[in-house]
Amino acid sequence: MKQKRYSFSFQLDVQSSYTVGWIAVLRCELVVARLLLDEEHQALDQDESDDNNYVLGRMGTHNVAIAFPGARIYGTYGAGRAATNMLRTFLNIKFGLLVGVGGGVPKPPNAEDAYQDIRLGDVVVSQPNEGHGGVLEFAMGNLNNDENIKPMSHFDKPPAHILKAVKLLRSDHDFEVGQMVTCIEEVSERVSNMPVLKDYQFPGREHDQLFKANYPHGPGEEDCSSCDPAQTERRLDRDLHAPVVHYGLIASGDAVMRSAFYRDWLRDAWDVCFFEMEAAGLMNSFPCLVIRGICDYSDHHKNTMWQPYASLTAAAYAKDLLRIVRGKETEDISRSDDTSLPGFNMDTLGEKNRL
């Protein structure tokens, strides 16, 4: 990969060339973002209060700052802190991409179309709809009483030019002219010769098991090797293992969703299609699109096998999206537009939308 070298005198000019902020919270999310760079750049000086780690580079026509939080703080506060630190160092960031993994929400198996069901490795993209901007916040503490299962906050929509690009990318994927699958195949081929990164290849559909909602995971078991396969849902096989992209409402909470019962409750009540822990910490202050790879089914049957590959599929979608977003469009956007980037209040970051 080519390296750009900059002298100190050009630091400020170079920093202003980074217009896309990409947030990766887990190590596997950082690895795939780095693998997908067309060109990696030299590290730059940071604001003294910025404790993020950064990988800088180019994807297509865009210079991208990939933030990886230095402090091991997860959830809404950690993501918000990473975003506000990024904006201190890279003053010309126009929009963000929150790219990573989390738990999908299965619908009842479709008896006619296997591509309507979610599968591990598929991608979910936050999709605004009437009444919401694509992300809602909920608190796990509210799940003890059915009457309290309700959205706490809806958040602002992503920037208009990003939603416009998403619409065009959906059309590209419908006509099979997108580059997402190509990106996945290229990275998979590359890591096949890198033993330390072999887990980023497709794990195999035989390892994709959706257990019935009322079947618990064995206590203390790290994987599902001891679980009863007779308790899995019967689903149609897909002809291809290429991921499917789903669009809908993403729920962002303060803890990992591990209950199939409450997962299905929120699906039926609010049409939630994905659970994660970061987006609620930054949506109103850092206009971004949430792109998530499905690594589990938001139940007790969790393991990390699918995290690397699901990270790759989400990142490949993000790169394909940047192909659609024109660099000139990004340059013309000001933080004073209707999708502005106001500064964070660090005293209330991650708490302002909580009950």
Write down the pLDDT at residue 282. 85
* Total tally of structural domains belonging to the chain: 1
Q: What is the pLDDT along the chain (355 residues), one digit of tens a residue?
A: 555 555 555 666 788 999 999 999 999 999 999 999 999 999 998 989 999 999 999 999 999 999 999 766 677 778 888 999 999 999 999 999 999 999 999 987 776 888 888 999 999 999 998 778 899 888 766 555 554 555 566 677 889 999 999 999 999 999 999 999 999 999 999 999 999 999 999 999 999 999 888 878 767 666 777 777 777 888 888 888 899 999 999 999 878 898 898 899 889 988 999 999 999 888 877 889 999 999 999 998 888 999 999 999 999 999 999 999 986 656 554 544 443 333 323 333 333 332 2
Answer positive or negative: Cα dihedral of 310, 313, 316, 318.
negative
Write down the pLDDT at residue 350. 34
Question: Quick one: tokens of 201?
Answer: 């290849």
Residue 335's nearest CA partner among 16, 115, 3, 7 is: 16
Write down the pLDDT at residue 303. 82
Residue 48 lies in a domain: yes
Residue 101's nearest CA partner among 78, 122, 79 is: 122
Residue 306 lies in a domain: yes
Assign 3-state DSSP to the chain and report helix, strand, coil percentages, each to 5: 35, 20, 50
Residue 176 lies in a domain: yes
Write down the pLDDT at residue 132. 81
Write down the pLDDT at residue 76. 75
Pairing of strands 20-23, 62-68: parallel
Residue 242 lies in a domain: yes
- State how far the Cα of 264 lies from the Cα of 342, in Å rounded to an integer: 36
Identify whether the C-beta of residue 4 lies closer than 8 Å to the C-beta of residue 79.
no
- State how far the Cα of 205 lies from the Cα of 6, in Å rounded to an integer: 45
Is pTM beyond 0.85? Reply is yes
Residue 337 lies in a domain: no
Q: Which amino acid is at 12?
A: L
Write down the pLDDT at residue 348. 33
pLDDT one-digit tens code per residue, 143-176? 555 545 555 666 778 899 999 999 999 999 999 9
- State how far the Cα of 4 lies from the Cα of 285, in Å rounded to an integer: 31
- State how far the Cα of 2 lies from the Cα of 21, in Å rounded to an integer: 21
- State how far the Cα of 114 lies from the Cα of 240, in Å rounded to an integer: 10
DSSP H or E run through 172: helix 160-174
- Domain CATH code at residue 54: 3.40.50.1580
- State how far the Cα of 329 lies from the Cα of 350, in Å rounded to an integer: 30
Structural domain for 85, as ranges: 1-220+238-324
Write down the pLDDT at residue 154. 67
Residue 318 lies in a domain: yes
Question: Quick one: tokens of 90?
Answer: 């890279």
Write down the pLDDT at residue 111. 66
- State how far the Cα of 235 lies from the Cα of 111, in Å rounded to an integer: 7
Residue 309's nearest CA partner among 32, 55, 114 is: 32
Q: Which amino acid is at 133?
A: G
Residue 116 lies in a domain: yes
Residue 355 lies in a domain: no
